[in-house]
Structure 1
Amino acid sequence: METDLQLAQRAALVGAAVALKHFAALADLPQELKADGSIVTAADRAVEAAIREVLGAARPADAVLGEEQGESAGDGPAGRRWIIDPIDGTRLFVAGDDRWLVLIGLEEAGEIVAGVAAHPAQGSIWWATRGGGAFEGRVVGGRVVADTSIRVGGSSSLAGCRVGIVPEDWGRDLVAPLVAVTAPQPWGIHPALMVARGELDLAVQTGGQIWDFAATSLIVNEAGGSYSGLSGDPRPGSGASVYARDPALRTEALRLMTA
């Protein structure tokens, strides 16, 4: 029987394949605006449906929460729930920018225990399990290859540290105190993943929901880093989130942004 991590990886790869078909035909992809002003497309819905089909066939008793279809209750162990963001960064997706992701997390009793983040258009995938470390790999022929353990970088002060902000054009008031002491860095992959592999010291995601943070929060934590919402809560939820190479830097950044 495949493990939860193997299932999450397989579901992410299935979703990625569906997303890439739509990504290759963007000119024909209709777009809609949700009530909150965010973009949704047929690709978002198709990817989530494909992922749900994989998870449902393998773990029919589990609950599932997805950005597009909401929550479906399970009849299995209480508190066991898959969390899906079928296309994280839909604005990037429809613009032809390859930095969008497919995100899948598994929550048990309020804790994220497995997470997978794929950059399908870049052929890369990242994953972690609670207590099992964090890894990145490549996707070749629909399979994960060349897995490599990843780890956050060394210490430095907040002033002048390497920081990534996502989305790049939102939440400017929130991150203004950080921008005053350090220049944001460009990012080719999600800044949280750059923290996990030691290429950034700090990342701020200025808004989102639990499906935006479930997988990446675990990956950063298992790489030796530190994650929390703006309130300091280490459990992913709604609002802004901060990823850092260590708890001290995260606390310092939170103090500066919330002063």
Structure 2
Amino acid sequence: MADDLRLAQEAALAGAAVALRHFAALAELPREVKADGSMVTGADRAVETRIRDVLAAARPEDAVLGEEHGETTGADSRRWILDPIDGTHLFVEGDDRWLVLIALEEQGEISVGVAAVPAQGRIWWAERGGGAWEGEMRDGRILGERRIRVAGAAPADLACSRLGVVPEWGRDRVAALIEAADERAWPVQPALLVARGDLDLAAQTGGQIWDFAATSLIVAEAGGDYRGLDGRTRPGPGASLFSRSAELGDTAMEVLNAH
């Protein structure tokens, strides 16, 4: 039986393959608007179905929570959390920055996280206590794995801090932080850039638990800090902040709370 991290990677690779087939035929992809105003496509549903199939074959007793197919009950202490295509708006526009996100929650704590960027052939992962890693996806395999860490120690000075903000809407929630820090463009999801030391801060202006479950662990295992703007320390609904250090996160929160 594959261990949980290997299983999550296998599921991400399988989901990525399905997503890429749809990404290559965007003109034929049906699109809908959900009740919350967000977009969903047949690709989102197909990817989640494929990931669920992989997980169910290996862990039939585990619970699964997915953005598109809801929650299926299972073992009380284990739940897989899925975002089959994170950034559907990017996906349908042909932008290569969308992700496949998979996390495992055990007894309320995220223990495994995988974030794949299939159109770029890149993948990040972490296991609690095992550090954060990245690699390349080629022909259904992960190659060139290397450990990643947040940027080295530096003063908690927002003016010198490199910031990424996602998505494009809801920026008013972090306007004070954007004004105080050095905002940068992001070639991949900003939280992943914090984990690999290319950014110091990442603000995500909204989302649900599936948007943050995998990336929160990857950043933490890279030596960084994750928190909700409402003060929570576990992934959940609302805006979130990723930082290279808790000290910098504290400084950012002070600025946000002052406005």
Same fold (TM over 0.5): yes
Give unpaired runs (5+ residues) of structure 2: none
Matched with 2:54 is 54
> Is the CA contact 1:160–1:181 (under 8 Å) kept in the aligned structure 2?
no
Secondary structure at 2:161 match in 1: coil
The Cα offsets for residues 175-197 of structure 1, whole Å up to 9 and x where unpaired, read as 11012122310000110000000
- Partner amino acid for 1:125? I
State the distance in 1 between where 2:204 and 2:146 align. 25
Task: Describe the SS at the equivalent of 1:60.
Answer: coil
Residue 56 of structure 1 aligns with an amino acid whose one-letter code is A
**For 1:74-132, what per-residue CA distance to the aligned partner results, in whole angstroms no more than 9, with x for missing partners?**
1x3x2210000000000000000000000000000100000000000000000000000
Q: CA RMSD in A?
A: 0.8
Residue aligning to 1:100 = 98
Q: Aligned with 2:112: secondary structure?
A: strand
> Corresponding residue for 1:228?
227
Instruction: Output the CA distance in 2 between the equivalents of 1:102 and 1:44.
Output: 10
**Alignment of structure 1 residues 37-76 onto 2, 5 Å:** 37-74=37-74, 76=75
Higher mean alpha-carbon deviation, 3-12 vs 158-167, is at: 158-167
The answer as to 2:206 corresponding to 1:207 is yes
Alpha-carbon separation, structure 2, partners of 1:172 and 1:82: 30
Q: What's the offset of the Cα at 1:166?
A: 0.4
Please list every run of 5 or more consecutive structure 1 residues that lacks an aligned counterpart in the other structure.
Answer: none
Structure 1 runs of 4+ off > 2 angstroms?
A: none
Aligned to 2:126: 128
TM-score by length of 1: 0.97
State the one-letter code of the partner of 2:210: W
- Superposed CA offset, 1:146-168 (max 9, x none): 1000000022411231000000x
TM-score by length of 2: 0.97
Deviation at 1:140, TM superposition (A): 1.1
2:48 maps to a residue whose letter is: E
1:1-28 CA-to-partner distances (Å, cap 9, x unmatched) read 2100000000000000000000000000
* Distance (whole Å) between structure 2 residues aligned to residue 258 and residue 21 of structure 1: 44
Mapped to 1, the partners of 2:177 and 2:230 lie a distance apart of: 17
Name the structure 2 match of 1:25: 25
The aligned counterpart of 1:118 is 116
Q: Is the 8 A contact 1:15 1:47 kept in 2?
A: yes
For the residues of structure 2 that align with 1:173 and 1:82, how far apart are their CA atoms? 32
